[in-house]
Structure 1
Amino acid sequence: MIQRIQSIYLLLAAIVSCGLIFVFNLWTNNTGELIYATDNIISLALFLGSALLSLVSIFMYSNRKLQFVLGRLNIILNFFLLGFFVYQSLNLSGETNVSEKGIGMVLPIISIVLLVLANKAIKKDEDLVKSVDRLR
């Protein structure tokens, strides 16, 4: 049942994690150069891993418990990515490396919100199936 609302949330989370990293910059360094997620291998790997987890969990609709667990792992991965961005922006070794933050640093927060909404919908479906099974 791919046409469920959690599939839309997961698809939007995959688009945020994979598509928008090429559009929005993460920060601007001291020389005025825009830094994108593709310039840093760690942030690129974490963003693409998050997008891959979202896409895989879309097609796990027959196993809702595994879909729910993959959603939680994806939320943890995005929190790790957010912590990496906070570390990069607060890294003060002599002169600050990050002079201006970009909108790309907010992308993990948007992805986390979409994943929480997807997990909420998955839980609602699971509860509905359990209640129907009780009636049989």
Structure 2
Amino acid sequence: MIQRIQTVYILISAILIGLLFALPFAEIASDNQFFLFDIRGIVRNNEIVDSGIPIAVFVGIILLIHLVAIFLYKKRIRQIRFLVFAILLLVGLFGMFYFFTFYSFSGADVSFNVTVSFPLVAIVLDYLAIRNIGKDEALVRSIDRIR
């Protein structure tokens, strides 16, 4: 399981998604007030201005899909489907980042942290995992034809 490179890709992707629970996404300056955008939502002075429950649920689902995909190493086609679904959800997570950051404030100065790029890196890692899973599946099918 862990000796396969695609499992390492999925594991690194899951770790990056898990880090979204701990690290802030952006800092927002609007009308001489500073806000922090993290998994809790938009926060000012430890007071939640806009709840981030949808993002927390979304990130939790994506993390769960990655963890399930790690243990589906015997069912390669299903593993590919899970990862494609995870990629679609990660693209949706980008949309949610944009919505939460720019919908709540008009004309605000937004400073994104490196954490926002974690879903993009996870998408690339998931794509690499899908490619390697496809190669494994092709190898298994070619061996079955020889018998």
What is the match of residue 82 of structure 1?
94
2:139 is aligned with 1:123: no
Q: Which amino acid aligns with 1:80?
A: G
Identity %: 31
More strand by share: 2
C-alpha contact 1:28 1:99 (8 A) present in aligned 2 = yes
Per the TM alignment, residue 2 of structure 1 is displaced from its structure 2 partner at its CA by 3.6
1:72 to 73, 77, 84: 84
CA 1:64–1:98: 2 relative to 1, 3 Å? farther
What is the match of residue 22 of structure 1?
22
C-alpha contact 1:89 1:98 (8 A) present in aligned 2 = no
SS of the aligned residue for 1:3 comes to coil
Per the TM alignment, residue 88 of structure 1 is displaced from its structure 2 partner at its CA by 3.1
What is the match of residue 37 of structure 1?
39
TM-score scaled by length of structure 1: 0.88
CA 1:89–1:35: 2 relative to 1, 3 Å? closer
CA 1:98–1:44: 2 relative to 1, 3 Å? farther
Answer with 1 or 2: which has the greater Rg.
2
TM-score scaled by length of structure 2: 0.82
More helix by share: 1
Where structure 2 has 5 or more consecutive residues not aligned to the other structure, the ranges are 42-51
Cα root mean square deviation, aligned: 1.8
Q: How many residues align?
A: 134
SS of the aligned residue for 1:62 comes to coil
Where structure 1 has 5 or more consecutive residues not aligned to the other structure, the ranges are none
CA 1:112–1:59: 2 relative to 1, 3 Å? same
